[in-house]
Amino acid sequence: MTDASHPPLTSAQTRAIELARETLDTEAAAVLDLKVRVGYAFAQTVTKVLALKGRVVVMGMGKSGHVGRKIAATLASTGTPAMFVHPAEASHGDLGMITAADLVLALSNSGESPEMEAILPLLKRLGTTLVVMTSNPQSTMARHADLWLDTAVAKEACPLNLAPTASTTAQLALGDALAVALLDARGFRAEDFARSHPGGALGRKLLTHVADVMRTGDAVPRVLPGATFSELMREMSAKGLGATAIVELDGRILGIFTDGDLRRLVEQGLDLRARTAQEVMHPSPCTIGEQALAVDAADLMERRRITSVLVVDAAGHLCGALNSNDLMRAKVI
């Protein structure tokens, strides 16, 4: 529906829209204000994380804890081993998860979280590097930290200036910035991301190879160049690919004949019964290697406006075939 087709807004609805826009403005400004404060401490944090023999252990209470869980998940999925440890549980045994080889990234807007303060001496005694993300450089947590990352905001988006809103957005954005900087420094690639997301759509696209989804053996339509047109059509019909390869005895591909080729020849009014496969084939067809990514096969078909492609081995001989239906079944497209 367009704005013109809506009934008039009530005063409560108008107020809700105004507050929503103010919230977005406040939080956007909080994130942008972080830019000038990203400097030496941030760069040092990246350097220390890259040199870690252990993991990044993210900690935080309340809303900062929820943000911390997301930061830990983002780090882990982008090449930096990380986990979240709840500060309150750390005092009751979970501190044993942390080693001297780790780096603790602690989040707290005030920097005065009692649960974090209780374990600070233990972390220092352990020798764990402590990076604190907080708004107050004079806070207990910041004073005990090896590095302090400034996440101060001018005000919360909450009209009462109480509920963590802009401050948690700032923490989240800075956590994302840290993950991106580390991702780039590690030379992390899309293929690396896919390996940690094998069940997702990206994982399927970047981990599935042509050899995983192609038709092989007797399922691959093929005829010799001297095959009659009738033999050619029987092979196409039996294999259901909508095309057949024309190959030498050793598997070297000479050409291809497709449903589209058949339609074009029929439109020309040619007598096809006396023709051989070599006479009607399309020479030098598109091929793809069996170790290519299946998504590359899909891209090739789209660019060339074809629905099937022949697959070749390292020696350039026919070893398989696939069409768009095979790719759809594999959820590559």
pLDDT in tens, 85-138: 999 998 887 888 899 999 999 999 999 999 999 898 889 889 999 999 999 999
Give the domain CATH number at 121: 3.40.50.10490
In a domain, 87, yes or no: yes
> Measured in whole angstroms, how far is the alpha carbon of residue 286 from the centre of its chain?
29
Alpha-carbon distance 218 to 234, whole Å? 14
Based on the fold, state whether residues 152 and 246 are members of the same structural domain: no
pLDDT attached to residue 14: 93
**HEC profile of the chain:** CCHHHCCCCCHHHHHHHHHHHHHHHHHHHHHHHHHHHCCHHHHHHHHHHHCCCCCEEEEECHHHHHHHHHHHHHHHHCCCCEEECCHHHHCCCHHHHCCCCCEEEEECCCCCCHHHHHHHHHHHHHCCEEEEEECCCCCHHHHHCCEEEECCCCCCCCCCCCCCCHHHHHHHHHHHHHHHHHHHHCCCCHHHHHHCCCCCHHHHHHHCEHHHHCECHHHCCEECCCCEHHHHHHHHHHHCCCEEEEECCCCEEEEEEEHHHHHHHHHCCCCCCCCEHHHHCEECCCEEECCCEHHHHHHHHHHHCCCEEEEECCCCEEEEEEEHHHHHHCCCC
The pLDDT tens digits of the residues spanning 249-292 come to 999 999 999 988 898 888 888 888 889 999 999 998 999 999 89
Task: Specify the number of domains making up the chain.
Answer: 2
Would you say residue 1 has pLDDT above 50? no
Chain mean pLDDT for the chain: 89
Whether residue 319 contacts residue 290, with contact meaning beta carbons closer than 8 Å, is answered with: yes
Q: Is residue 311 part of a domain?
A: yes
Is residue 198 included in any domain, yes or no?
no
- The domain of 9 spans 3-188
Domain final residue, candidates 134, 154, 188: 188
Strands 243-247 and 253-258: what pairing? antiparallel
Q: Are residues 215 and 165 part of one domain?
A: no
Domain co-membership, 281 together with 235: yes
Residues 275, 315, single domain; the answer is yes
- The residues, ordered by sequence, that sit 6+ positions from 103 with a Cβ below 8 Å of its Cβ are 48, 49, 52, 54, 55, 56, 57, 128, 129, 130, 131
Check whether residue 263 and residue 298 sit in a common domain: yes
Closest listed residue to residue 135, CA positions, set 116, 156, 159, 110: 110
Q: pLDDT band for 205, please (50, 70, 90 cuts).
A: low
Same structural domain for residues 182 and 215?
Answer: no
185 neighbors 50 (Cβ within 8 angstroms): yes
pLDDT at 287: 94
Same domain, yes or no, for 162 and 52?
yes
d(CA 68, CA 86): 9
